[in-house]
Amino acid sequence: MVQSYTRMAALMAGSLERALRRVNYDHADVLLLGIWNKPVGPRILDAARQLRERGLTRFLAVSTHARMRVPSIAAAHDFDTPSVSSEEASSELVTSSGSSFHAG
């Protein structure tokens, strides 16, 4: 997994490519867009999808500290893996299908 905190879509590809070179990998299983407490912007989402289409990542994920955003993130079906709220807020996971469960 590679985590990106960039808020500039133009920087995402270079950042992921550098991270992959550092560990001598050709792709990341998961590109995690880190700490989106507001909706992920369309340019960021498009850039992440392009990286997936190029084969640089297999799955897209997002993290947030805004627990109330998790259901709307899941309902949008923009991400391939569960969205996880911060540990301080909850250990609840919500899948892209909208179902939820408690971890641990």
DSSP 3-48: EE--S-HHHHHHHHHHHHHHTT-S-EEEEEE---SSPPPHHHHHHH
**Secondary structure of the chain: what % helix, strand, coil (to 5)?**
35, 25, 40
Q: Where residue 75 falls among pLDDT bands split at 50, 70, 90?
A: confident
Domain count, the chain: 1
The boundaries of the domain holding residue 86 are 2-102
Looking at residue 82, what is its pLDDT? 56
Mean pLDDT of 75-91: 64
**Global confidence as pTM:** 0.77
Q: Where residue 35 falls among pLDDT bands split at 50, 70, 90?
A: confident
Looking at residue 84, what is its pLDDT? 55
Looking at residue 52, what is its pLDDT? 97
Looking at residue 73, what is its pLDDT? 85
